[in-house]
Copies of this chain bind each other. A is one copy, B any other.
Amino acid sequence: MMRSALAAAAALLAACAQAPTTPGKQTGAEILAATTPSDWRTPDPDNTLYLELATGRVVIELAPAFAPNHVANIKTLVREKYFDGLAIVRAQDNYVVQWADPAEDDAKKKPLGSALSTLPGEFAHADDLPFVALPDRDVYAPETGFSQGFPAARDASAGKMWLTHCYGMVGVGRDNAPDSGGGKELYVVIGHAPRHLDRNVTLVGRVIKGIGLLSTLPRGTGALGFYANPAQYTPIKSIRLAADVAESERTPIELLRTDTLTFASYVESRRYRREEWFIDPVGHVEVCNVPLPARTPAK
């Protein structure tokens, strides 16, 4: 899609978002079946991570527009192979899994190389990124919607926008100080959206494939779901940037764009449920209840 056409679509979408919601006639499955190639995008290999476990690959799309410093630092950590041989050390039911250097607190801890250990938090961004608003109210934010393929929220009066803690979002663990995280320890949401974390912690991306490899991990029995016994850790074989992996070994994936009229219709199909099963078509939708469709492209 050319930029001018995209701008026109964005303007139209913005108008839609202002207008009263009108029930669509189609189901989500019908809308997805009728998409055209321009409704889909391929995530940038230079902002896509492959987390390799013995059980398979977890694919993460990074969000450099929202957290440029943390994403850059994580990419440095990845390129210098910092994560290789570390482990998933925490799995708290209905909350998060988290990985880190198990030796972080002792002399054997892995050296950081040229990456920074900590960074100032990137908890919110200026309200200057693309945003397609949902008409629905939200519990936590004045507005919610989507920005560049990610679930997001906005407070226009404060001039701020931020990513939201929906299922599958990837964030930066930190200690109490707001500048104590840097990307060495990352977590993934595997339960009900902990939206109270929004604006309290830096989100850097979203799992776009393979989250089942994380969400089914045995839960840790220590405080906060940390594993009580190192034998329970899940080793990380490696984390690689897709751009650094041979094309033949990359995971082909396409994601539904969130800045198109097709996506607006898809959201409507989640708001007004047209599947025969529904007795009450609902008429509302929460930002974390809009699954963001992914597909394997045809060869």
Binding site for B on A (CB under 8 A): 93-94, 121, 123, 136-140, 166-168, 175-176, 178, 191-196, 199-200, 211-212, 215-219, 270, 273, 276-280, 282, 284-286, 288-289, 291
Neighbouring B residues of A280 by C-beta, 8 Å: 123, 199-200
What separation, in Å, do the CA atoms of A166 and B191 have in the docked complex? 11
Minimum CB distance partner of A278 in chain B: B200
What separation, in Å, do the CA atoms of A191 and B268 have in the docked complex? 22
Neighbouring B residues of A270 by C-beta, 8 Å: 196
Neighbouring B residues of A178 by C-beta, 8 Å: 279
B192 A289 Cβ-Cβ under 8 A? yes
Query: Given A200-B280, A215-B215, are A167 and B192 also a contact pair (CB < 8 Å)?
Result: yes
Number of copies of chain A assembled together: 2
What separation, in Å, do the CA atoms of A212 and B216 have in the docked complex? 9
Known: A139-B286, A140-B286. 8 other contacts (CB 8 A): A93-B215, A94-B211, A123-B280, A137-B138, A140-B282, A196-B282, A199-B279, A200-B282
A140 B284 Cβ-Cβ under 8 A? yes
10 smallest beta-carbon distances between A and B, as pairs: A139-B286, A212-B219, A196-B282, A167-B192, A199-B280, A93-B212, A216-B216, A140-B284, A94-B167, A176-B276
What separation, in Å, do the CA atoms of A289 and B195 have in the docked complex? 8
A-B CB contact pairs (8 Å), 29 listed: A93-B211, A93-B215, A94-B211, A94-B215, A123-B279, A137-B138, A139-B139, A139-B284, A139-B285, A139-B286, A140-B286, A166-B192, A167-B191, A167-B192, A176-B276, A191-B192, A192-B192, A192-B193, A192-B288, A194-B289, A195-B286, A196-B284, A200-B277, A200-B278, A200-B282, A212-B219, A215-B219, A216-B218, A216-B219
What separation, in Å, do the CA atoms of A242 and B219 have in the docked complex? 26
Neighbouring B residues of A199 by C-beta, 8 Å: 279-280
B167 A121 Cβ-Cβ under 8 A? no
Neighbouring B residues of A193 by C-beta, 8 Å: 192, 289
Distance to closest chain B CB from A195 (angstroms): 7
B139 A138 Cβ-Cβ under 8 A? yes
Neighbouring B residues of A218 by C-beta, 8 Å: 212, 216
Query: Given A192-B289, A194-B289, A285-B196, are A277 and B176 also a contact pair (CB < 8 Å)?
Result: yes
